[in-house]
Copies of this chain bind each other. A is one copy, B any other.
């Protein structure tokens, strides 16, 4: 297992302690519940935005806490929803008269944990609502399944809701923002390699030297197909078309374009993909107003990437422009 890890069971608490140690002014944590929150939140007249999901997706979730983004987040074990108590304590820690909005990525584990936690909190008269994010186009939506997965598009939901909450919008208004973003954001990813959850100690799936998993989930879930690796341009086109056809995005749309690295893919390769994706936007008549190239939602050390498109309007552009700060930073 080629990883920096001490005892596998300490991996998640230790990296969270690292995040807290690196951001003493911004963040405070509660190790018992694997929770991270803004030091200066909650405040009475602002809606708190929270999230909690399995870990292994950093900087998603606990590293996305900060002004203009999440007010708090908790994390479960690698790739597993947080325990119910963690969700409940997170809601409680960020409770305000303005309310708490929980942004739930659409996985059954997360949903059940947050459903339970929200019920518990509401029973204690905490004002709290939740919203489901499901931007992954890889897998068909269906009434007979849990439905589409929430993946890197989550970033845009957090960003827009964070900005709307900072503006002082009400719980219902912020939830409407979440809905607008989610309705307009689509993602698909591809994996070139598997990843190794520290507790498992072995790859989460087998994949041949010349194979890729198209439409992979961020927990290594199978996607649309197992295919031979092709050129970067062809891969980009496959992902991009799946994403752009889904909404669909149309000539004249203003968009945000994200190329997200899954953890093991270095910046240079992501820009090779971005280069092609930007061309494909142009071919479809989509104007890229903002772009995001880097790691936003990883799958441990998986080599791979996802492409996300968000259709913008004036309101959403304002939210993306708004200042924000998280534990993921450069300077």
Q: Which residue of chain B is the closest to A233 with respect to CB atoms?
A: B6
CB distance from A196 to the nearest CB of B (A): 11
Asked if A55 and B21 sit within 8 Å, CB to CB, the answer is: no
Q: Which residue of chain B is the closest to A231 with respect to CB atoms?
A: B6
Asked if A2 and B301 sit within 8 Å, CB to CB, the answer is: no
| Interface flags, A8-37, vs B, CB<8A=1, else 0 | 000110111111011000000000000000
Asked if A266 and B263 sit within 8 Å, CB to CB, the answer is: yes
Q: Is A330 an interface residue (CB 8 A)?
A: yes
Q: How far is the CA of A272 from the CA of B269 in the complex (A)?
A: 25
Asked if A295 and B268 sit within 8 Å, CB to CB, the answer is: no
Asked if A301 and B303 sit within 8 Å, CB to CB, the answer is: yes
Q: How far is the CA of A193 from the CA of B4 in the complex (A)?
A: 12
Residues of the B chain whose Cβ atoms lie less than 8 Å from the Cβ of A15 = 267-269, 271-272, 275
**Set B16, B22, B268: member contacting A55, Cβ < 8 A:** B268
Q: Is A326 an interface residue (CB 8 A)?
A: yes
Residues of the B chain whose Cβ atoms lie less than 8 Å from the Cβ of A269 = 3-5, 15, 301
CB distance from A7 to the nearest CB of B (A): 8
Q: Is A121 an interface residue (CB 8 A)?
A: no
**Set B2, B229, B232, B298: member contacting A192, Cβ < 8 A:** B2
Residues of the B chain whose Cβ atoms lie less than 8 Å from the Cβ of A80 = none
Q: Which residue of chain B is the closest to A279 with respect to CB atoms?
A: B21
Q: Report if A294-B193 is in contact (Cβ < 8 Å); known contacts: A264-B266, A271-B18.
A: no
Give the one of A4, A18, A303 with max B CB within 10 A: A4
Q: How far is the CA of A16 from the CA of B291 in the complex (A)?
A: 15
Residues of the B chain whose Cβ atoms lie less than 8 Å from the Cβ of A55 = 268
Inter-chain pairs besides A329-B330, A330-B330, 5 sampled, C-beta below 8 Å: A2-B303, A14-B275, A18-B275, A267-B328, A292-B330
